[in-house]
Amino acid sequence: MAHGPEGSQDQLVSRGFVPLDPDIAISAMEEAIRNDETTVTVADIDWAKFYPAFALARPRPLLHEIPEVAALLAENEADLPEKGTVSALAERLDGLTDGEQRQAVLDMIRTEVAAVLNHANAENIVETRSFRELGFDSLTAVELRNRLNSATGLRLPATLIFDYPTCAAISDHLCKELLGSFPGAMTSSAALNEFWAALQQVDYQKLQDAGVVATVMGLLEGEPAKETKEEPEPRPEIDEMDAVELLNLALRNKMARNSAADVQGDEG
């Protein structure tokens, strides 16, 4: 039962669930039965792995009295930079142009993302691709937040990648936090990122029907695309139709009338 599907045990261990020694587990179960315990839980938890991910959405005060969790919280608080601390990154940004500032922050974020995901370099980290697509989970989200805290001197929330789901979005946010405002080159990037995120929510066929796909492809080719509509094939006169064609025409007309009646009924 403990092994389950392939890789499931490794996933549990990575989240802080340590496999119990069989003798300990059976002894604990025997004691629970003997004492008529019906809601007891016996587990070996690596709190340093489990709690940060478990508390990602919000603090979990029920666990704060567990000694290991209390020590972990105290350690994390001690590691956070003092409020108002100016990081080396912020000092370096101060001497750059607007475009250079954004690029420096973005490069730093992509480098940290690559390190968290164990990539050799940041070349394949696309700034507009969502962290979910890149393979992030709750554990790697916490690790990235911690790395960015260290790099920027900021106190960023554990929910950072959910609040700002791409490298470009985090870059905009960090520039605002570090510099007090967005660099001049940020506005178009933020708008593009928002547009891209919205575009991914729309069904491709709807984009095609609305002419968006043709327009974008036309822009890529250097000129706006023109919508082309096929001319309907000429329909023969009624006098020239045979019996089958007349029957099909009558059926189409009936279906059209029924559809119109349904629409009027809905509007009513």
Over the stretch 149-208, which tens digit does the pLDDT of each residue have? Answer: 888 888 888 788 888 999 999 998 998 888 765 444 344 455 566 666 677 677 777 777
At residue 44, does pLDDT exceed 80? yes
| Distance from chain centroid for Cα 140 | 12
Spell out the residues 6+ positions from residue 154 whose beta carbon is closer than 8 angstroms to its own. Answer: 81, 87, 148, 174, 177, 178
**Which positions ≥6 away from 63 have C-beta within 8 Å?**
51, 54, 55, 69
Comparing CA positions, the residue from 178, 182, 121 lying closest to residue 149 is: 178
Model confidence band, residue 113 (pLDDT cutoffs 50, 70, 90): very high
Residue with tokens 């119109």: 260
The overall average pLDDT reported for the chain is 75
- Cα distance between residue 265 and residue 258, in whole Å: 10
- For residue range 196-243, what is the model confidence (pLDDT) as tens digits? 667 767 777 777 788 777 777 777 665 544 544 445 455 555 555 555
The backbone torsions φ and ψ at residue 45, rounded to the nearest 5 degrees and listed phi first, read -110, 130
> What sign does the CA torsion over 64, 67, 69, 70 have?
positive
Which pLDDT band, with edges at 50, 70 and 90, does 82 fall under? low
- Pairwise pLDDT comparison (231 vs 132), residue with the higher score: 132
Looking at domain 88-180, its CATH architecture is Orthogonal Bundle (1.10)
* Three-state secondary structure call for residue 130: strand
- Ranges of each domain in the chain: 8-79, 88-180
Average pLDDT rounded to a whole number, residues 58-77 = 79
Give dist(CA 262, CA 268) in Å, integer: 10
Dist. CA 53–CA 138, nearest whole Å: 5
Q: What is the pLDDT of residue 187?
A: 43
- More confidently predicted of 254 and 50: 50
pLDDT score of 185: 39
Exposure b/e, 16-39, CB count within 10 A at least 16 = b: bbeeeeeeeeeebeeeeeeeeeee
Output the six-digit token pair for 76.
């994390």
In this prediction the pTM is 0.49
Residue 45, SS3 per DSSP = strand
Query: Helix-strand-coil percent breakdown of the chain, rounded to 5?
Result: 60, 0, 35
Q: What is the structure's pLDDT at 81?
A: 54
Q: Which of 196, 201, 155 is closest to 174 using CA atoms?
A: 155
d(CA 15, CA 45): 9
pLDDT value of residue 1? 47
